[in-house]
Amino acid sequence: MGIVPCRGSRVPAAVLVAILVILVLHPVGLASASLTTEQGDMFLSCTEDDECLLTPTPIGEEIVTDSVFASPAQPESLTFEFDLEPSQDQLALLPTTLAKFEVDFRFTGDATGTARPQLDASLILGQSVTDWEFEAQPIPGQALNEPYVLVDEPLNLNGNRVLWPDDVVRLRLTFSLDRPGTWELHMRGNSFLELDIEWSEDINARNTDEPSSSLNPRSTEFETSHEGALVENDKDCWEFEIEQHEVLSVFVIWEAVPIEIEQPHQLPNLYMPNGREAPAPEVIVSDDGSETRITYRWRALPLGDYTMCIGGVAEKFQPYRWTGQLAFEGLGPLDPSGFSGTSYYPVGAASLGDADEAIQLEPVTYGFLIACLFILVLFGVDGLRHSTSSAIRFGLFTPGVVLMLVGGIFHPLWAGADEVQLEGEYTLEELVEYRLQQLWDVSYPGVPEQVLVKQTGATWGMLDGERLQLRLEVEEARPMDDGRWQLVVPELESIRLDQAIFGQVAKGGAQTTDEGLLEDQTVRFILLAGRSLLLDLLMLEGLLVVDDKPTSSVFHLDVDMVSAPATGSVSVPAWGTRPSTISTNDWVLLQSSLFPEQISVTLCDCDLDLLDVRFIASNGFDSSDVPKAIGLRNASGFIQANAPIAMLGLVLLSLSSRIEYVRRKKARTLAESMFGSSAKWA
């Protein structure tokens, strides 16, 4: 079937055929092959035998084939290299795993039939290389015609998940052939890669403020909106005129980007009409996960022409927008006086139980033990008297003593010992301190960004392979609609996030700038800690559920932590590890239902440092979202119903004592009747 031009067409048929061939062979010219959130599939395509590409759609040859004359003594290597075409032109955040990899390569030996040769595959993504090896299967069989497949394979990113424009994206395949035969590489959709790109951005499209620099500032109106982006160590500058005012404010809104490439949000340089830099402003930072809002406020600056510059650092990128405001003295929505002064954890955000039907829990007391011990002493003194009845002694008295010891002595002692803090266990206060110290350590400049991401996103600060041991004191248990019980920890009500975070800042020896402002590292820590600590406590509260009715107020959590898909913002991932007792599917369901609708962390770096941590709880969290058997164990003795057992022992002791008393009385009466009033029996 050919293409026939319409009568009167001025386009020759040969030209139409040529255009059609170009479109068939290279449709990628009409669409970008750059790895993005919308495009993560890469198809293996060969337009010629020696020109192979990774393309967003399958193109080129359906099958590439040839014959080889190899032998075990002289094996041959067949290598294909597939380069991304067109090349990477966007900034992208790579996933930690390769979703799927499939290569349909078939080999038929001249004498041995179908065989599966060894395959060495290398995926090059920027500066990282991930290698896989498929062993040869030389024995003929039906399964040998199946493609080479990988699913959810970890990528060796060397701590760098960022793929920059013009970075190399290449797949190298090397097949080792050790016998004569014919090979076939099937493409046109049969061989491909799948990468689930988490985040991507077109740098050139966002960097709209250029050209702009300290030597060439852009002239603008101060009280208008400006958009742009800081690309690496770029420096964006504007010049404007400042008129009569009492308060000069600059509002900068930074879009959320992966934490690995987030700009440090340094103080802008504001140069006054005399050429000198303005004094340090009052700074208020608010982060809600989707963007970071920073307010810089100066007072009583002179009138005239100003220049403001915002600078970045190498290997960082972040879009922003800013606007200015001239006002007279007053209280704005972000004025320090608008802060509450305290920021408690909002306990009850993950509450599911019925508070009206709650039962109060108490720690083990030793009043019952003391009473049982006293009773045993009394009956023991009575039991030391000589008795001629072995049936009473071993049938009633001895079992009674055993039951009293088990239910009234040994059980309370065991239960009390089980309530103490075990070796390696954290209290809730100690866990908070550990978490804050961890975040402080990784927020230092120079810490690899992948380390920062991993530890910030770890649930309760516990990394993959670590063990969490936690002792909790519970005040009450509330019945849930599915028969389980939710625990209420009073210590959560008294946790002041701002006090704990600023306490860590003081403990860490935070330094300030010459103007008295907190260092960038300290500000970064405060924002990270406010968000991470709130999410950690929220997850803990949501998981405080047990199957059985508690018997004491002390619980032990002992779980091994494993990696899990993180949730939350790309700038600050959350809950990236999970207890091994919870499946991945249950964890993802819990994340999606428990994660707050909005989180806001606001810091006022002013005369009196203030912090507000607020959030809007999710309205879709219910009991069906909470997994079962997470590892919570109620401190208890070694038997159930210890009190009835001890009481049964008391009954047996009382009965034996009564029977013994009756026997002695009858014996005395008989003796008196036989010997009269002899002094011997008096």
Which one is predicted more confidently, 499 or 670? 499
Residue 149 has pLDDT above 70, yes or no: yes
Residue among 435, 462, 466 nearest 531 (CA): 435
- Same domain for 604 and 669, yes or no, is no
Look up residue 408 and give its DSSP letter.
Answer: I
Query: Which tokens hold the place of 45?
Result: 């395509």
Question: pLDDT digits over 548-560, tens only?
Answer: 888 888 899 999 9
As for how many domains the chain has, the answer is 5
In this structure, is residue 108 part of a structural domain? yes
Total-model pTM: 0.74
Which one is predicted more confidently, 497 or 679? 497
Residue among 312, 226, 315 nearest 266 (CA): 312
Alpha helices in 544-596 (DSSP H): 584-594
In this structure, is residue 379 part of a structural domain? no
In this structure, is residue 364 part of a structural domain? no
DSSP H/E element including 376: helix 367-383
Residues 554, 590: contact at Cβ < 8 Å?
Answer: no
Instruction: Name beta bridge partners: 162.
Output: 93
- Same domain for 668 and 615, yes or no, is no
At 642, is the pLDDT very low, low, confident or very high (cuts 50, 70, 90)? Answer: low
pLDDT at 409: 65
List of residues 6+ apart from 300 with CB closer than 8 A: 246
Query: Which of 330-339, 462-471, 663-672 shows the lowest mean pLDDT across its residues?
Result: 330-339
At 516, is the pLDDT very low, low, confident or very high (cuts 50, 70, 90)? Answer: low
3-state secondary structure 463-529: CCCCEEEEEEECCEEEECCCCCEEEECHHHHCCEHHHHHHHHHHHCCCCECCCCCECHHHHHHHHHH
Which one is predicted more confidently, 243 or 674? 243
Top-confidence range, 99-113, 202-216, 240-254, 639-653:
240-254
- Same domain for 502 and 593, yes or no, is yes
- Same domain for 132 and 165, yes or no, is yes
Residue 55: what are its φ and ψ, rounded to 5°? -125, 155
Mean pLDDT of 623-637: 83
Question: pLDDT digits over 195-245, tens only?
Answer: 999 899 999 888 887 667 777 888 999 999 998 899 999 899 999 999 998
Question: In this prediction, what percent of the chain has a pLDDT beyond 90?
Answer: 40
Instruction: Name beta bridge partners: 106.
Output: 184
Residue 107 has pLDDT above 80, yes or no: yes
Residue 388 has pLDDT above 60, yes or no: no
Q: How far apart are CA 298 and CA 284, in angstroms?
A: 12
- Same domain for 477 and 606, yes or no, is yes
pLDDT at 511: 59
Which one is predicted more confidently, 561 or 288? 561
How many other CB atoms are there within 10 angstroms of residue 370's CB atom? 13
Domain of 389 in residue numbering reads as 385-417+640-681
pLDDT at 381: 62
Decide: helix, strand or coil at residue 167.
Answer: coil
- Same domain for 80 and 44, yes or no, is yes
Residues 542, 470: contact at Cβ < 8 Å?
Answer: no
Residue 15 has pLDDT above 50, yes or no: no
User: Residues, the chain, total?
Assistant: 682
Look up residue 116 and give its DSSP letter.
Answer: B
- Same domain for 479 and 597, yes or no, is yes
- Same domain for 15 and 127, yes or no, is no
Residue 71 has pLDDT above 60, yes or no: yes
Q: How far apart are CA 331 and CA 323, in angstroms?
A: 19
- Same domain for 190 and 217, yes or no, is no
pLDDT at 289: 83
**CA angle, 295 as apex, 293 and 300 as ends, to 5°?**
170
Query: Which of 553-557, 611-615, 657-661 shows the lowest mean pLDDT across its residues?
Result: 657-661
**CA angle, 646 as apex, 645 and 649 as ends, to 5°?**
90
pLDDT at 588: 92
pLDDT at 178: 87
Q: How far apart are CA 316 and CA 232, in angstroms?
A: 5
Question: pLDDT digits over 398-437, tens only?
Answer: 776 677 666 666 666 666 555 777 888 999 999 999 999 9
**What is the CATH classification number for the domain harbouring 275?**
2.60.120.380
- Same domain for 476 and 400, yes or no, is no
In this structure, is residue 248 part of a structural domain? yes
pLDDT at 13: 43
pLDDT at 517: 61
Q: Across all residues in the chain, what is the average pLDDT?
A: 82
Residue 28 has pLDDT above 60, yes or no: no
At 42, is the pLDDT very low, low, confident or very high (cuts 50, 70, 90)? Answer: very high
Question: pLDDT digits over 315-342, tens only?
Answer: 899 999 999 999 876 544 445 555 655 6
- Same domain for 561 and 435, yes or no, is yes
At 32, is the pLDDT very low, low, confident or very high (cuts 50, 70, 90)? Answer: low
**What is the CATH classification number for the domain harbouring 72?**
2.60.120
- Same domain for 430 and 562, yes or no, is yes
Longest dimension (CA), the chain: 153
